[in-house]
Amino acid sequence: MRQVVLPIVGTVAAWRTEARALAAEGIAPEHVIWHRGAAPPDLFAGDAPKGQGRSLTIPRAALAEIEAALCHSDPERFARAYRLVLRLNDGLVWGDRSDPDIRRMMEHAKSVRRDIHKMHAFVRFREVPSDGRRAFAAWFEPEHHTVEAGTPFFAKRFGDMDWVIATPEITARFDGKLTFHETVGAERPPEDATEELWRTYYANIFNPARVMVKAMQSEMPKKYWKNLPEADLIPGLIRDADRRVAEMAAHEAEEAPARRLAVARRMAVPERPVPTAGTLDALRAEAAACTRCPLHAPATQTVFGVGPPDAEVMFVGEQPGDQEDLAGRPFVGPAGQVFDQEAEAAGLDRSRLYVTNAVKHFKFAPRGKRRLHQKPNGSEIHACNTWLDQELALVKPKLIVAMGATALQALTGSGEGILKRRGQVERLEDGTPVLVTVHPSYLLRLPDPELAKVERRRFREDLEQAARLAQS
């Protein structure tokens, strides 16, 4: 039998070196006895038969898991890990949970990671006197051998202070550099005054109306309590919870003084200037509260038209999209960008246009974290016509451009055959000319890039025609 003694500090790194050396000598796992710290005298110690030597190659994922598992408190871990790395070299596939060695290794790695996580959570520093930068110390009792793997986290987090985390076995010390040594004569650091504030916080953030002790203990097991300054409050908090809830129920609310309520009310609802009746601003404010069809409920806001109240050309689109719904302005999304580019290229002054939609709320179906655009139906278009009609009546444009079938339907009563009607000028009942074109989002949906180019050019030609008509 070969005896291997691993040091208390640097155990995992030493195991790796030893395992490589043993494998190079071809020593079988059943001929190795592993110790950590001092080796007890062993009657069977001696040398082990050597076999065929080999060098170990282990997948990175496996090694990370094995090294975590080596921090476990199970005394068999070193032998099991050595056996497993040899088997992995012999063709065993890492990740197969039906293999008992692999599964045990994964389970151990998992409990070690949990123990490290609990260390990150439950270490409680106390401030200690220092000549230089601020210094803190903590006493912690981990379940496994996790100090070396768990404390680099604190070095990243508390880089501007000195600290010590002492455990029964190993002490980690940080003064700009993290070092480990065996613990001698461990002492808990003395209390510091901030602990009382923390206890105050803990007691007051607790809600006595929903006591769930089991849920607390599964995450904060009692074994950790002795080093948590807040833990001795727990029994008292639980004991008093029912009484406190009963007191709340018995205590009838008293009315606050009317004067205070009135003052608060005036402050909470500040007066806003009311727009003059009969203007676009007044219409916009009225439309913001529109509930004439069900589309208002899932949408963010009414997206009303924008542009000068005396614009000569009014563009009417279908409905706001995702971006417009969030921003509250029409034509700011991808289709709006196409519109901006083509309008500019066609010689239209964007700041002189009135741009609006036939339907003022975004219609969509929720899919996870996205919203799928849906076409508004006849009754929704009809419900929204009241706003479009009033916009037309106030702006009195010389020319209207209907973009897409929905706009065409809202303006003329029929959206049928848009592709045949595009480029032509139709008339409203009052004689206002309506130039028909497609919606810019149609250009974005065309899958064939050649066709998209052609259609985009035709769209620009329509806008150029609009520019000519507006000037005539």
Partner 1 sequence: MKSLTEKLAILSDAAKYDASCASSGGAKRDSRDGKGVGSSGGSGICHAYAPDGRCISLLKILMTNFCIYDCAYCVNRVSSKVERARFSVEEVVRLTIEFYRRNYIEGLFLSSGIIKSSDDTMADMVRIAKTLREREGFRGYIHLKTIPDASPELIEEAGKYADRLSINIEMPTEAGLSQLAPEKSAKGIRKAMGEVRLRREASREVTHTGKRRAAFAPAGQSTQVIVGADAADDRDVLTQSANLYANYGLSRVYYSAFSPIPDASRMLPLKKPPLMREHRLYQADWLLRFYGFDVSEIASQGMLDLEVDPKTAWALAHREQFPVDVNRAAREMLLRVPGFGVKTVDRIVAARRRGAVRFEHLVAMGAVTKHAKPFITLPGWTSRGLDDQALRARYAPAPEQLSLF
Q: Which of 45, 64, 215, 451 binds partner 1 (CB under 8 A)?
A: 215
Q: Which of 21, 64, 186, 264 binds partner 1 (CB under 8 A)?
A: 264
Nearer to partner 1, 49 or 273 (CB): 273
> What is the Cα–Cα distance from 171 to 414, expressed in whole angstroms?
82
Give the interface segment with partner 1, choosing from 4-12, 47-55, 187-195, 377-385 (CB under 8 A).
187-195
> What is the Cα–Cα distance from 301 to 170, expressed in whole angstroms?
61
Q: Is residue 226 at the binding interface for partner 1, with CB under 8 A as the rule?
A: no
Give the interface segment with partner 1, choosing from 3-11, 37-45, 347-355, 367-375 (CB under 8 A).
367-375
Residues near 55 by beta carbon (within 8 Å), at least 6 away in sequence? 20, 23, 24
Q: Least distance (Å) from partner 1 to the CB of residue 326? A: 4
Q: Are 316 and 410 in contact (CB under 8 A)?
A: yes
Q: Least distance (Å) from partner 1 to the CB of residue 287? A: 12
Give the interface segment with partner 1, choosing from 54-62, 234-242, 424-432, 443-451 (CB under 8 A).
234-242
> What is the Cα–Cα distance from 183 to 191, expressed in whole angstroms?
21
Q: Which of 245, 285, 425, 446 binds partner 1 (CB under 8 A)?
A: 245
Q: Which of 40, 55, 210, 445 binds partner 1 (CB under 8 A)?
A: 210
Q: Which of 21, 61, 64, 209 binds partner 1 (CB under 8 A)?
A: 209
Give the interface segment with partner 1, choosing from 46-54, 82-90, 190-198, 445-453 (CB under 8 A).
190-198
Burial grade of 145 (CB within 10 A; 0-12, 13-18, 19 or more): buried
Closest CA to 433 of 472, 404, 406, 387: 472
Q: Is residue 198 at the binding interface for partner 1, with CB under 8 A as the rule?
A: yes
Sheet holding 399-403, edge to edge: 353-357, 313-317, 399-403, 433-437, 425-427
Stretch 375-434 residues interacting with partner 1 (CB under 8 A): none
Instruction: Mark 40-79 with x for binding to partner 1 (rule: CB under 8 A) and - for no binding.
Output: ----------------------------------------
Nearer to partner 1, 60 or 260 (CB): 260
Residues near 49 by beta carbon (within 8 Å), at least 6 away in sequence? 27, 28, 31
Q: Least distance (Å) from partner 1 to the CB of residue 229? A: 9
Q: Least distance (Å) from partner 1 to the CB of residue 256? A: 4
Instruction: Mark 106-145 with x for binding to partner 1 (rule: CB under 8 A) and - for no binding.
Output: -----------x--xxxxxxxx------x-x-x-------
Q: Least distance (Å) from partner 1 to the CB of residue 238? A: 5
Q: Which of 24, 186, 213, 393 binds partner 1 (CB under 8 A)?
A: 213
> What is the Cα–Cα distance from 439 to 410, expressed in whole angstroms?
14
Q: Which of 8, 128, 220, 394 binds partner 1 (CB under 8 A)?
A: 220
Q: Which of 60, 265, 420, 445 binds partner 1 (CB under 8 A)?
A: 265
Q: What angle, 0 to 180 degrees and rounded to 10, lies between the N-to-C axes of helices 77-89 and 60-69? A: 170
Nearer to partner 1, 175 or 182 (CB): 175
Q: Which of 38, 43, 184, 212 binds partner 1 (CB under 8 A)?
A: 212
Q: Which of 50, 371, 382, 458 binds partner 1 (CB under 8 A)?
A: 371
Stretch 142-171 residues interacting with partner 1 (CB under 8 A): 153-161
Nearer to partner 1, 306 or 469 (CB): 306
Stretch 290-329 residues interacting with partner 1 (CB under 8 A): 297-298, 300-301, 323, 325-328
Give the interface segment with partner 1, choosing from 7-15, 66-74, 97-105, 432-440 (CB under 8 A).
97-105
Q: Is residue 13 at the binding interface for partner 1, with CB under 8 A as the rule?
A: no
Q: Which of 228, 282, 446, 467 binds partner 1 (CB under 8 A)?
A: 228
